[in-house]
Amino acid sequence: MTNAIGEALSGVREVELTVTGRRTGRQIPRPVWFVQHDDNVFLVPVTGSDTQWYKNVQQTPMVELAVDGASLSSSATPITDSRQVADIVAMFRDKYGPDEFDSLYPKHDVAVQVPLG
């Protein structure tokens, strides 16, 4: 794992995700919630597969994660397997609380894996 980003992720609630726009080719940053497990960061798009940044990742999987001055460029992998998505959603509920997560994330049919190493 990249130590700087791994250490920076500890104890924070969100990370800045930068994706490449599928129509414009521009770099689009946005804050997102995440969970870290082993040497991976997992993301759940707020409106699932309808989320614009998720659609951008499907076309151009290279993303950047940044937090507290540390950053990492990595290839993101969309996850569509319902069991894997359910496991990731459970980690989000543990981190952020089930009520808060469920009220802000109405659809969770997909997730994204970003390796840190």
What band does 3 get if pLDDT is binned at 50, 70 and 90?
Answer: low
What is this structure's pTM?
0.94
For the chain, give every domain's residue range.
3-115
CA distance 3 to 7: 6
Closest CA to 76 of 88, 51, 58: 58
**In the prediction, which pLDDT does 7 show?**
84
Chain segment 53-95, per-residue pLDDT in tens:
999 999 999 999 999 999 999 999 999 999 999 999 999 999 9
Which one has a higher pLDDT value, 78 or 4?
Answer: 78
- Could you say which architecture CATH assigns to the domain 3-115? Roll (2.30)
User: Dihedral (C-alpha) 24, 42, 48, 81: value to the nearest 10 degrees?
Assistant: 120
Which one has a higher pLDDT value, 89 or 11?
Answer: 89
Closest CA to 45 of 80, 21, 75: 80
